[in-house]
Amino acid sequence: MTQRDVARAAGVSTAVVSAVLSPKKNSSIRVAPETAQRVHDAVQRLGYVPNLVARSLAGGERRLLGVFTYEPVFPSDRANFFYPFLLGIERGVERAGYDLLLFTSRGDEAKGDTAEGRKIYPSGANRLRLADGAILFGQEPDKSELTRLVAEEFPFVTIGRREISAGQISYIAADYASATRDMVAHCAGLGHARIAYLGEKDPREQHLDREHGYWAGLEAAGLVQRHDWLLRLAPGDLDAARMSRLRAEGVTAILTESAAHAEAAEAVLKGLGLSVPKDLSIGVLAAPMEDRPEFRRWTRIRIPREKMGEAAVGALLDLLAGRAASPVQRVLPCTLEPSETVQPPAI
Amino acid sequence: MTQRDVARAAGVSTAVVSAVLSPKKNSSIRVAPETAQRVHDAVQRLGYVPNLVARSLAGGERRLLGVFTYEPVFPSDRANFFYPFLLGIERGVERAGYDLLLFTSRGDEAKGDTAEGRKIYPSGANRLRLADGAILFGQEPDKSELTRLVAEEFPFVTIGRREISAGQISYIAADYASATRDMVAHCAGLGHARIAYLGEKDPREQHLDREHGYWAGLEAAGLVQRHDWLLRLAPGDLDAARMSRLRAEGVTAILTESAAHAEAAEAVLKGLGLSVPKDLSIGVLAAPMEDRPEFRRWTRIRIPREKMGEAAVGALLDLLAGRAASPVQRVLPCTLEPSETVQPPAI
DNA sequence: CTGAAAGCGCTTACAG
DNA sequence: CTGAAAGCGCTTACAG
């Protein structure tokens, strides 16, 4: 059952069937109403269904947006984290009349439980090409794959800022720099004059954004900027010695890169017979991946996940339609969520 | 950049390139190792990427499974309900090396905010055909579309039992009948001898399954079966008169079709100066769509959503591979979650 | 207003 | 072991 059968049944050529079934504004074909009716009748009678793959190959519209993540899109332990992005993506995509292609397979034919994760170029071919463009998000993507994606000019947008040396990547990110500045201002406003920063051991894009926000915030508030108050270490590496040093130097508040860092800091304080926020205020800068209810006690940053998903779709569609030039790079404002762990200093 | 360019660069025909890039067991083409190497080199050098759409049209594998729901897949108010299904689907699909196609658009070109929802056949064409097969779930699907899907022998599996007059539908469903029987047994075991049933006004497949379970459960426990103890009404239509009648007839426990029914019943009891479970035990048979924490107080049925998603993928793949004949119809066991609203009768 | 033909980029019998 | 050719089912200039 193909277009040809319909054409034959309606006594027209396949060109006419195509024109009737996919009306284009500036088509070179104009069909008489009664002819169009004959075609529709034949379609009905035969139960003809166009082959979308063929249509796509012939240059018709695909209207398919890819979603790629290196880990499962629906992880059980991060449901609350991922869900809002997907919700925003679906909302954006539905409005635009696109379908969503979730790249869930590893991409190669290997089916066993090999440790290998998902790949964009599993066997040399860009799997994403099945879609018109793609949104990438989640864990740290493979930079070499991103580089290749840019090189072949495949339209894509990442959620979260990514940088590669070989070019510019379109992204929708949370405005962590401003959010961190706000957090510093929040602490300063409560009377904290000496604020330290507990950062990632190996800072990536978003961590550097936050560090910049830290310095900018101190600057704006006219507070002391000491480079040894910015610690870069894994949560487990924070020890009593470092903590005591900071306290001895008059630090009354710490901004931490993650909830894990905050919890580590609290544990160390506890070991010293101290507590949060009585002896030290702690503000958390990143939205924890897990988003568990117990994280709500921390004064923290909330990122606009749903809006980010929607904006990523918008940016990608702009790119596809030629309404925007690559790269499209936007940051969306975050919200500071004051809670119990940041209070005025004891003094 | 196509296969032809690679062929030219490697000094071979496109057939050889194809054979090298998509090795098949019983291919009619055998390529010398050094020729294959030349092809691979050319691919590398030119950065060639096969066009998956063309490959698909030419008969290559698609390895795409569709997911269709009439409402948004990522609804904000039902996140907890939908998520486990998706999680199970992704798990099943990833293992099999398939990608997932989410039909999020309405399907027609209309982009505005017309009230129209999603359709499988928006303009006569089966949109799902882009995928090898599809999983349907969520709200009551359009029966005429299901009928058409069956008629054209498109491979699909619904999550939740569906019936149409024109044929058989493959499904993975929760074993509501057994679960309801278990609930009756649970009540009977606690000493309830007269158990009523508050059902849907317009029962569909799953509701009828539960009603059957109710009768079977009463039968098995040797309890009174009175047809006027099975009420079919909207939650709002339950009134004090009906409730008083049941109580007067010695009913000490009610099974309800939904959490809404249970809450309505409790409200009516309250109006009579009575309470749950002191004066009447209530067991809820359906997993509420919303799955809010406050529903946990009800003694209720838990359906294996994640497993259902995974099983749906398995069934669909069996269908596609010809390992199973259509229809594949499986029910998965539910769990009874005893809680505070079903207690021994007062007597 | 309509039709014959080329082309999208692959795969796959079929001859050499 | 290799290549020329047809074909998958559409769309789209291009002639009539």
How far apart, in whole angstroms, are the C-alpha atoms of residue A307 and residue A91? Answer: 10
Name the DSSP class of B328: P
pLDDT band at B347 (very low <50, low <70, confident <90, very high): low
Nucleotide nearest to A33 (CA to C1'): C1
**Beta-sheet pairing, A99-103 with B99-103:** antiparallel
Residue of B nearest to A49 (CA): B125
In this complex, which protein residues place their C-beta within 7 A of any atom belonging to strand D? Answer: A 2-4, 14-15, 17-19, 21-22, 24, 27-29, 48-51, 54-55, 57-60; B 11-16, 28-32, 35, 54, 57-59
Residue B255 belongs to what H/E stretch? Answer: strand B253-256
| φ and ψ of A159, to 5 deg | -95, 115
Interface with B, mutate which of A46, A67, A99 (most B CBs under 10 A): A99
Closest CA to A169 of A145, A186, A187: A145
Contact between residue A252 and residue A217 where contact means Cβ atoms under 8 Å apart: no
Task: Give the pLDDT confidence of B118-175 residue by residue, as tens digits.
Answer: 888 776 667 787 788 999 998 777 888 999 889 888 899 999 999 999 999 999 999 9
Query: SS3 sequence, B280-312?
Result: CEEEECCCCCCCCHHHHHCEEEECCHHHHHHHH
Task: Give the pLDDT confidence of B73-118 residue by residue, as tens digits.
Answer: 776 666 677 888 999 999 999 888 888 999 887 766 544 445 567 8
CB contact under 8 A, A94 and B109: no
How far apart, in whole angstroms, are the C-alpha atoms of residue B252 and residue A240? Answer: 62
Minimal C-alpha gap between B51 and chain A (Å):
7
Question: Exposed, middle or buried: residue A98 (CB in 10 Å: 0-12, 13-18, 19+)?
Answer: buried
Strand C bases within 7 angstroms of protein beta carbons: 1-5, 7-15
Ordered domains of chain B (ranges, CATH): 3-57 (1.10.260.40), 64-174+305-335 (3.40.50.2300), 177-302 (3.40.50.2300)
Two tokens, residue B144 = 């005429």
How far apart, in whole angstroms, are the C-alpha atoms of residue A136 and residue A70? Answer: 9
Q: Identify which has the larger pLDDT, A118 or B178.
A: B178
Task: Give the pLDDT confidence of A80-103 residue by residue, as tens digits.
Answer: 778 889 999 999 998 888 889 998
- A window 23-82: Cβ near strand C (< 7 A): 28-32, 35, 54, 57-59
Contact residues, chain B, for A101 at CB < 8 Å: 64, 99-102
**Which of A50, A64, A121 has its CB closest to that of B125?**
A50
Contact residues, chain B, for A53 at CB < 8 Å: 53, 56-57, 62, 130
Strand D bases within 7 angstroms of protein beta carbons: 1-5, 7-15
Establish whether the CB of A16 is closer than 7 Å to any nucleic acid atom in strand C.
Answer: yes
Nucleotide nearest to B34 (CA to C1'): D1
Establish whether the CB of B131 is closer than 7 Å to any nucleic acid atom in strand C.
Answer: no
CB contact under 8 A, B57 and A52: no
Which residue is the nearest neighbor of C14, CA to C1'? B28
Closest CA to A36 of A20, A22, A55, A25: A20
Contact residues, chain B, for A47 at CB < 8 Å: 148, 151-152
Which residue is the nearest neighbor of C9, CA to C1'? B54
- pTM of full prediction above 0.95: no
Q: What is the mean pLDDT of residues A18-35?
A: 81
**Which of B21, B87, B113 has its CB closest to that of A74?**
B87
DSSP A277-295: TTT-EEEE-SPPSS--GGG
**Which of A83, A101, A126 has its CB closest to that of B79?**
A83
Contact between residue B327 and residue B168 where contact means Cβ atoms under 8 Å apart: yes
Cβ contacts from A onto B, under 8 A: 154
Task: Give the pLDDT confidence of B249-268 residue by residue, as tens digits.
Answer: 999 999 999 888 999 999 99
Task: Give the pLDDT confidence of B280-291 residue by residue, as tens digits.
Answer: 999 999 876 656
Dihedral sign, CA of B270, B275, B280, B282? positive
**Which of B53, B94, B152 has its CB closest to that of A56?**
B53
CB contact under 8 A, B74 and A54: no
**Which of B49, B73, B99 has its CB closest to that of A129?**
B49
Predicted pLDDT at B281: 96
Contact residues, chain B, for A131 at CB < 8 Å: none
Establish whether the CB of B57 is closer than 7 Å to any nucleic acid atom in strand C.
Answer: yes
Closest CA to B262 of B285, B230, B291: B285
pLDDT over 80 (residue A187): yes
Specify whether the backbone of B342 is left (phi greater than 0), alpha (psi in -120 to 50) or beta.
beta
Predicted pLDDT at A123: 64
Mean pLDDT, chain A, as a whole number? 87
CB contact under 8 A, A125 and B63: no
Minimal C-alpha gap between B95 and chain A (Å):
6
pLDDT band at A111 (very low <50, low <70, confident <90, very high): very low
CB contact under 8 A, B127 and A98: no
Establish whether the CB of B32 is closer than 7 Å to any nucleic acid atom in strand C.
Answer: no
Lowest mean pLDDT segment, chosen from A18-27, B180-189, B194-203: A18-27
Dihedral sign, CA of A62, A65, A71, A76? negative
Q: What is the mean pLDDT of residues B24-53?
A: 81
Nucleotide nearest to B13 (CA to C1'): D3
How far apart, in whole angstroms, are the C-alpha atoms of residue B341 and residue B347? Answer: 16
Establish whether the CB of B29 is closer than 7 Å to any nucleic acid atom in strand C.
Answer: yes
pLDDT band at A171 (very low <50, low <70, confident <90, very high): very high
Which residue is the nearest neighbor of C4, CA to C1'? A13
Q: Which residue has the tokens 């569609």?
A: A317
CB contact under 8 A, A90 and B74: yes
